[in-house]
Structure 1
Amino acid sequence: MAAWDGVSEFVAVAETASFTAAAKRLRLSVAQISRQVAGLEARLQVKLFYRTTRRVTLTEAGGVYYRHCSHALEGLDDAERAVSDLQATPQGKIKLTAPITFGEERVMPLINDFMVLHPQLELECQLSNQLVDILADGYDLAIRLGHLQDSSMIARKLSGRRRYVCASPDYIDRFGAPHTLSELEQHHCLVGGAGYWRFIEAHKTRSVKVSGRMQCNSAYALVDAALKGLGLIQVPDYYVQDYIQQGRLLTVLDPYCEPEEGIWALYPFNRQLSPKIKMLVAYLAEHMAGV
């Protein structure tokens, strides 16, 4: 297996353009990555990378070697996945990421149920509202909300979400319900971190600056304030759908609500044949339907 020594490390550095990012992807130290790449260069008697304090780029020889090695590693991955396909039970580690609140509320309970069904699985999860680099950080799966920007991934729609403007019956009894966007300036709007709300008017997206007695970056705090009659809120449906069904919150400005946004599972092309990823995505799609 000496011919494979340093190849995975070399490919990771080539794809991330960084020894540090490659170390993070492979869960190794930067020193180990550097040592393996140096050993590979010594064995091949060729320089594979140009290194500066700011950038790591492939040499001409490195580019040729990368093209061959990347195909070879993909073939090895395909072989391992083909063997895994013979096993009825998904196993091994899944590394995934999801937005914090939606992950806590909707994703992780389903993931935990899936883990109970498949005890040979291991999980590494990062809940973050930052758009992580799926490939560079070595993620198998990412849950994303709304418009997708990364077209290099496979995307499967799991469900959808819609934003509603709501208020308590008590608030509407006291202040009335707005019927046009211009009327919002006459109301107490409970504001999130952005300071504006999004709507559709005349088939175009419109952002409306809102203000009121309260501004908070916690949707749960805003929902609680709305339930207590402090004002109007605009939040995704999964925060308020139970309260709407119970009549504790009433929706307003429904004709101006944006169309449903997608809730997506996003994963690299080389994960599409993985049984554990296929089964997990199918499980999430089944159980998130109607979220």
Structure 2
Amino acid sequence: MADWQGVSEFVAVAETASFTKAAQRLGTSTAHVSRQVSLLEDRLDTRLLFRTTRRVSLTDEGDTYFQHCRLLLDGLREAESALTQLKESPRGQIKLTAPVTYGEQMIMPIILDFMIQYPDVEIDVDLTNNQLDLIDSGCDFAIRLGRLANSSLVCKRLATRKLIVCGSPTYLATNGTPHTLSELGQHNCLRGQHDYWRFREDGRERNIRISGSLRCNSGIALLDAAKQGSGLIQLPDYYLQTALDEGSVVRVLNNYQDLEEGIWALFPHRRLQPLRVKMLVAFLTDALTNKVL
């Protein structure tokens, strides 16, 4: 076991870039973590970390060693997880984060169904439009929408979404129905965070600048305004299902709809998913796939 001494502490420091955060993760003291890493460096006769009062970073040798050690620890966790998963029912806590509106409308009803089926699982949900650091926040995974930035996180697509342009029958009767992208300049386009809408024309993505009398960062509020005849909106399909079904808004410019985007579960690369997390992700995938327009 001497060969393993200090490895867990070193990997924790490398992943959190902090002796303090590594100690918190491992449930021990900062002094213990520092001592174990120093003993490891002495045994290897190699400096693995650069230490300053403000930050901790890997040396080139430390980065190489870290990549190998992480695989070894993941293998050990996977072996332990395989034994745990022999139990007949998932149990334990899951922590996740999701955007506010999507979380309220789409994720939470599914989670409540999951908890009814698996009462031994406790779920902690942080609904926020801020993209939390999964390691610092202790989240098992995050729900993210649309295009993903380059990341070290592992992702799994749960479902897809598409952007739809629509307006109320009253608005279209009064102002006409646009049939080409150039006609958008003649319409009151209710805006969210951006001054452009995304389309696809002749196989190429196009961003069309729009203008209108209302800007709001709430999709629900924009939908309410459109239903009242204030103008056109472009929103993801999950906002619009009920309104389209009941006919309070009507789709337009269907031939220019952009490609579908992913709805993702993102996981910290350092973690293997225990049975309870795998089952919740599968449950979400099944439910969301059936709900998307």
Q: Which amino acid aligns with 2:148?
A: L
More off after superposition, 241-250 vs 110-119: 110-119
CA distance in 2, matches of 1:202, 1:276: 45
Residue equivalent to 1:278: 278
- Alignment deviations for residues 2-24 of structure 1 (CA, whole Å, 9 cap, x no partner): 99786544322112323465467
Residue equivalent to 1:57: 57
Q: Do 1:5 and 1:36's aligned partners in 2 also have CA atoms closer than 8 Å?
A: no
CA distance in 2, matches of 1:228, 1:179: 22
CA change 1:5–1:180 in 2 (3 A) is same
Residue equivalent to 2:173: 173
Q: Which amino acid aligns with 1:12?
A: A
- Alignment deviations for residues 251-284 of structure 1 (CA, whole Å, 9 cap, x no partner): 1111111122222223356656632122112111
CA distance in 1, matches of 2:253, 2:165: 7
Residue equivalent to 1:236: 236
CA shift for structure 1 position 182: 1.3
CA change 1:207–1:36 in 2 (3 A) is same
* 1:289 match: secondary structure: helix
Q: Which amino acid aligns with 2:256?
A: Y
More off after superposition, 200-209 vs 261-270: 261-270
CA shift for structure 1 position 99: 2.0
* 1:70 match: secondary structure: helix
More off after superposition, 134-143 vs 160-169: 134-143
Q: Which amino acid aligns with 2:233?
A: I
* TM-score, structure 1 normalization: 0.85
* TM-score, structure 2 normalization: 0.84
Residue equivalent to 1:40: 36
CA shift for structure 1 position 135: 4.8
Q: Do 1:147 and 1:262's aligned partners in 2 also have CA atoms closer than 8 Å?
A: yes
Residue equivalent to 1:91: 91
* 1:157 match: secondary structure: strand
5+ residue gaps, structure 1: none
Q: Considering only aligned residues, what root-mean-square deviation do their CA atoms show, in Å?
A: 3.0
CA distance in 1, matches of 2:52, 2:289: 49
Q: Do 2:198 and 2:206's aligned partners in 1 also have CA atoms closer than 8 Å?
A: yes
* 2:278 match: secondary structure: helix
- Alignment deviations for residues 65-98 of structure 1 (CA, whole Å, 9 cap, x no partner): 6466534532331232011111121112222222
Asked whether 1:146 is paired with 2:146, we answer yes
Residue equivalent to 1:221: 221
- Map residues 117-136 of structure 1 onto 2, 5 A cutoff: 117-135=117-135
CA change 1:92–1:150 in 2 (3 A) is farther
More off after superposition, 260-269 vs 248-257: 260-269
5+ residue gaps, structure 2: none
* 2:115 match: secondary structure: helix
CA distance in 2, matches of 1:67, 1:165: 46
* 1:15 match: secondary structure: helix
CA distance in 1, matches of 2:21, 2:75: 23
Q: Do 2:23 and 2:33's aligned partners in 1 also have CA atoms closer than 8 Å?
A: no
More off after superposition, 263-272 vs 90-99: 263-272
Residue equivalent to 1:78: 78
